[in-house]
Structure 1
């Protein structure tokens, strides 16, 4: 029996490698992208992660054709698409705000791109039904967008983007308007469909957990520059810069002698020529000690682990540790503690290198 995915997939999938080559973008005197080089291999899922204003949505809009680069070019499957209109690029896009047509049914919304391309009525009807089936919406075709939940509307937007069989799928913060539970469900659905169809995908987000959970690789963008692009676990465990270490996940920053290889140390080390260690919560223990120079301030129970935060009296130093429930029992608020580094820090910078 032929599945919906098989009926919807082109007989021969074209090369859909994506390349942003030396792409810069300026709006007046403000440069938002600086000589960006980014390659997505065919079928790869890449998230572009960064804070507001870092240029991630601009990069996506340049790839989609809604903005032209100031310098550089865009290639898909080896074809230079720089300056080509969005509707001629073979790219599907899903927006944060769904952008569904309120006066059209779900079926009509999904068919819309096919109708614009003058696809025969029966073929576009069948394709739309296949897409709705893939997205778990086959029973909602006759409804209007306002009759659906936010999660269902985003599934319709995804089905519409996939209906035209695009070479590339772009998603611009598509989950930010959804509540936490639905966000995880739609995130997993997007990943399932992307893998099922083998479509090259760029996903823009400011949510670290989202970026790490869904991607083959994560590109961390800061002020228009890619600071690191790597597998999610590498970005978290081996950040390439202090910006990445601070932005992705949680770190405790500790001063340590250059020869320090792990173990207990005072939270405040004497001397000036100290390396800076960026330590993840799971790699930091808090050891009760009467002479400890930090005090446990709070415990946050998260189910599998408990997050312990301790602070120095001056308030300018915080230690964050992730421990088991049994370990947390001895770290009640008010307990004086000393940090113990139990694994290689995520990042070590030599004296004077940290900002």
Structure 2
């Protein structure tokens, strides 16, 4: 099985790690931490802040020092962080503009993700008109629209409005692709019940 995301002795923020973890394509793993720490670690993983030490690899590429657009990572911030003045369609398109991808492929794939996540009826709506669960799906679609190899999800309080992350993740990759490697930063018990591979950022690695 192809390993997509590798963390090597990563200390993302003071008081955590070092974490060594492999996440294969099409699989999920969780970094278990309180919300504030989970958010800080997620920002390090996607390149919005530097780590204290260690390395982050995507496939065979060391992306530790690369800016976010060159990491081939999608990011779902806590709460989704949708732009309130933009419609659902434009929020998803905004994610595409932030990546270096072939435009025609990205457009076709974005339309597919919208359909798979059942967002077509919401495309003309502003975020405040959506349910919490719909906003989360829009944030997933925005992150997946650029065909990332890795998806980092900051999920401090679970999926508001119900649903299972494990049911949504398979919809985020083309059927002929190996799948996206998903790393979830969370302490939510319901979410952790879905994810066998876990690392406690304040303690020891655990697997279930």
TM-score bracket for this pair, using the shorter chain length: 0.7 to 0.9
Count of equivalent residues: 204
Q: CA deviation at 1:115?
A: 3.0
Question: More strand by proportion, 1 or 2?
Answer: 1
Q: Aligned match of 2:199 in 219, 222, 227?
A: 219
What does 1:331-342 align with in structure 2 at a 5 Å threshold?
none
- TM-score, reference length from structure 1: 0.51
Give the conservation status (yes or no) of the 8 Å contact 1:44–1:216: no
Structure 2: which 5+ residue stretches go unaligned?
A: none
Provide the aligned C-alpha RMSD in A: 2.7
Q: Structure 1 residue 167 and structure 2 residue 145: aligned?
A: no
Q: CA deviation at 1:62?
A: 2.1
Q: Structure 1 residue 47 and structure 2 residue 30: aligned?
A: yes
Aligned to 1:250: none
Deviations 1:171-197 (A, max 9, x none): 10165472xxx23x1535434435866
Q: Structure 1 residue 151 and structure 2 residue 137: aligned?
A: no
Give the conservation status (yes or no) of the 8 Å contact 1:47–1:219: yes
Q: Aligned match of 2:186 in 205, 213, 216?
A: 205
Specify the SS of the correspondent of 1:48.
strand
Structure 1: which 5+ residue stretches go unaligned?
A: 1-14, 232-355
Q: CA deviation at 1:91?
A: 0.3
Deviations 1:37-93 (A, max 9, x none): 22222322001223456x444333222112212221111102111111112101001
Give the conservation status (yes or no) of the 8 Å contact 1:111–1:124: no
Q: CA 1:144/1:174 → structure 2, altered by over 3 Å: closer, same or farther?
A: farther
Aligned to 1:62: 44
**Whole-angstrom distance in 2 between the partners of 1:62 and 1:157:** 19
Specify the SS of the correspondent of 2:6.
strand
Q: CA 1:123/1:187 → structure 2, altered by over 3 Å: closer, same or farther?
A: closer
**Whole-angstrom distance in 2 between the partners of 1:117 and 1:36:** 27
Specify the SS of the correspondent of 2:91.
helix
